[in-house]
Amino acid sequence: MKKFARGALALLLLLTIAGFAYKSIASSQHKRADLFKISNIALRHASHFANTPLSSELDAILDKEFTYLARGKQYYVFCSEDGKYVLKFFKCQRLETPHWLKTLSFLPFLKSYYTRQSSKIGKRRKELFASCELAFEELQEETGLIYIHLNKTSNLQKKVRIIDKLLHHYALDIDKYEFIIQRRADLILPTLQILKEEGNFEGAKKRIDELLALLVQRHEKGIIDFDPAIINNTGFLDDRAIHLDLGRFAKCPEIRCRENSKSEIDKITKELRESISLFYPALSLYFEEKLLSL
């Protein structure tokens, strides 16, 4: 009997160690994948926001294969095989109350915390989706937006192929996920660095003009961006600058005022101007002159 008990205890210990080892390996894999997993892009909560109209362009885009590109605060980003488009899945772990908290919310000491967290996360989800909707309705050109899918559907009927950071392949029934499709743009600083190396000062000046025109145009529409990280959230297409991030747009009629707009542009481009001054002084001078002329 004692031998059996010792054997059972040893087996339990072995299983426990194996369980911890498996959990540790899975956690390591998850981190190496930039925390991407399919369950993190599937929103359980229904949205009342409308999806945008379908188009033949969308149909062709969804036939492409998408490879993992990056992750931001709001999205996991995948790039199409031809490099022209990005497919962004919402990081749904940020948009829903943790399952464990919901399960244990009946406990008195967790009930009020659950209520506060649910309210906070619900507000975050509502603001994010409202910002995406505003971007499509009024800033489609300024964001390179093609389609936003904020509700599960049954009419797309597509299996979209994606490859994650660990080179795992998936065929997703895209009707079941919330996502965004945008044109892919080149980031500001790498673009300007290339133009400098090419000796293309006129091309660099044109890019600065396009960036400032983008900001002025958004302000003229009475829209402000509460996350104006210009360096990472703005990029260039062939013919214009666009906003890459859609998460913090809101109506602000006061920003239409020339002085308010100028002050805001001066503030949100400060870090970018400082970066440019370090590697491209001539362009930095041009940037400052353009700001004065706004």
Highest mean pLDDT of the ranges 4-8, 108-112, 251-255: 251-255
Report the distance separating Cα 119 and Cα 94, nearest Å.
Answer: 13
- The residue with greater pLDDT, 148 or 111, is 148
| pLDDT of the residue at 56 | 86
The two structure tokens encoding residue 159: 């299996």
| pLDDT of the residue at 34 | 64
| pLDDT of the residue at 32 | 52
Sign of CA dihedral 71, 75, 78, 84: negative
| pLDDT of the residue at 25 | 41
Concatenating the DSSP letter of every residue in 50-97 gives PPPPP-HHHHHHHTSEEEEEEE-SSEEEEEETTSSEEEEEE-GGGTS-
Mean pLDDT of 142-163: 95
Q: Grade residue 96 by pLDDT with cuts at 50, 70 and 90.
A: confident
The identity of residue 49, as a single letter, is F
Q: Grade residue 29 by pLDDT with cuts at 50, 70 and 90.
A: very low
What is the pTM assigned to this prediction? 0.84
Concatenating the DSSP letter of every residue in 267-291 gives HHTHHHHHHHHHH-HHHHHHHHHHH
Q: What residues contact residue 221 under an 8 Å CB cut-off, 6+ apart?
A: 138, 139
> Is 40's pLDDT higher than 60?
yes
Stretch (H or E) spanning 209? helix 201-220
Task: Write the pLDDT tens digit of every residue in 178-192.
Answer: 999 999 999 999 999
Q: Grade residue 30 by pLDDT with cuts at 50, 70 and 90.
A: very low
| pLDDT of the residue at 24 | 42
> Is 144's pLDDT higher than 80?
yes
Torsion of CA 219, 224, 227, 230, to 10 degrees: 0
| pLDDT of the residue at 18 | 38
Mean pLDDT of 147-167: 94
Q: Grade residue 12 by pLDDT with cuts at 50, 70 and 90.
A: very low
HSE-up of residue 209 (Cα within 13 Å, Cβ side): 7
φ, ψ dihedrals at 118, nearest 5°: -60, -40
Mean pLDDT of the chain: 88
> Is 284's pLDDT higher than 90?
yes
> Is 123's pLDDT higher than 80?
yes
Q: What percent of the chain has pLDDT over 90?
A: 71
Q: Grade residue 266 by pLDDT with cuts at 50, 70 and 90.
A: very high
